[in-house]
Amino acid sequence: MLRSSIVRQFVRFQSTGKQGKGVGVMFMNMGGPSTIPETYDFLYRLFSDGDLIPLGRFQNFIAKIIAKRRTPKIESHYREIGGGSPIRKWSEYQAQKVCEKLDVESPETAPHKPYVAFRYAKPLTEDTYKQMLKDGITRAVAFSQYPQFSYSTSGSSLNDLYRVSKQVDPERRIEWSVIDRWPKNDGLTTAFANHIKASLNEFPAETRDKVVLLFSAHSLPMEIVNRGDSYPAEVAATVYSVMEKLNFSNPYRLVWQSQVGPKPWLGAQTAKITKKLVDEVDDSQAPGVVIIPVAFTSDHIETRHEIDIELKEELDAPYKMIRCESLNGDPVFIDGLVELVKDHLKQNQRYSKQLPLDYILGSAGAKNVFKHPSELFGEKR
């Protein structure tokens, strides 16, 4: 029964592409509260997610306590960066630009309609899915905006999509495929390299090649890393690809930020390494530091507040640290996303070869999640 259903999905998926009925492109991310009043709901959803932060059998109860306790502080942080998270603005911009370019460069799959779906903030996956059904979308790409896959982030968003699809689309009117990782995408790595060069130009020419590049990514609980999560390796792949484009012009390290709670997290910590290089190491060895948010595709609270405000306030010599500009609306980055989606559609891909293993290692007996990607995306060609 399941196999026949998958076969029907695959046939319909193939036919929609050939008939050119159009494609919905859903940009998926964790999101952030666009306004201050949304902060508590955002935090509660985030800490309720056992895929991201495993808290055990009392997850929801603990999440309420943590969210209530942290809301005032996080609200003040969002006030300091303009009154809300910029993620939605940039996600909608990126999705719109990608689809506009796809209509020109891939007319055989046009029209391409942009959507944004967040895991913890508006627009939530369920609301976006309902809008896609209302718009008559029958073929869609779940486009993870986490360039490097982690079961705790990318996987959580896909689990959410799976649950929502069962609730609001039991007849599977929308046929899905997924772009689940793209750590070495040329547009991504070229844009990073260009932004790093611009940041390095802020330092004197005679010491520029000694400036340390710190590639900073959101950390993970070691509990997740030790399951075999692919995220650390894929972030490292992005870093190495960027450094290749820079011809390894500078010393560099990969560091990790945004740890929460007492459990062990992946290190070394961004703040600790930055403070050592800026405040303790002699200028002849490290005349400056450039921090590159390597796992984020736009500005958000971790760049605008955690790095730009909190970290700088902790430094004795903050003028020696520069945070590399985020990707945001960079046209080189946008072009990289266009090529990624265009190739995905042209090859009729369902999901990457790595995704089944991600779920074997990452799900850890979780309930109400798919056990194999074919349950949501059909059989891989």
Other beta carbons within 10 Å of 194: 17
What distance in Å separates the CA atoms of residue 280 and residue 49, rounded to the nearest whole number? 39
- Peptide bond connecting 366 to the previous residue in cis, omega within 30 degrees of 0: no
> Can 44 be counted among the known catalytic residues?
no
> Can 321 be counted among the known catalytic residues?
no
> Can 119 be counted among the known catalytic residues?
yes
> Can 218 be counted among the known catalytic residues?
yes
> Can 52 be counted among the known catalytic residues?
yes
> Can 41 be counted among the known catalytic residues?
no
What distance in Å separates the CA atoms of residue 282 and residue 285, rounded to the nearest whole number? 6
What distance in Å separates the CA atoms of residue 267 and residue 265, rounded to the nearest whole number? 6
Long-range contacts of 50-53 (CB under 8 A, 24+ apart): 50/366, 51/151, 51/152, 51/155, 51/156, 51/159, 51/366, 52/152, 52/153, 52/156, 53/152, 53/221, 53/260, 53/261
- Peptide bond connecting 123 to the previous residue in cis, omega within 30 degrees of 0: yes
**26, 28, 46, 337: the active-site residue:** 46
Half-sphere exposure at residue 124, Cβ-oriented, CA atoms within 13 angstroms = 13
> Can 379 be counted among the known catalytic residues?
no
Other beta carbons within 10 Å of 71: 17
**115, 120, 146, 252: the active-site residue:** 120
**112, 119, 304, 305: the active-site residue:** 119
**49, 51, 302, 325: the active-site residue:** 302
**49, 51, 175, 299: the active-site residue:** 299
**28, 52, 158, 161: the active-site residue:** 52
- In one-letter notation, the amino acid at residue 212 is V
Half-sphere exposure at residue 161, Cβ-oriented, CA atoms within 13 angstroms = 32
- In one-letter notation, the amino acid at residue 326 is S
**112, 181, 218, 323: the active-site residue:** 218
> Can 30 be counted among the known catalytic residues?
yes
**306, 335, 339, 358: the active-site residue:** 306
Give all strands of the β-sheet with 252-257 in edge-to-edge order.
252-257, 212-218, 289-293, 321-323
> Can 306 be counted among the known catalytic residues?
yes
Active site residues: 30, 46, 52, 119-120, 218, 299, 302, 306
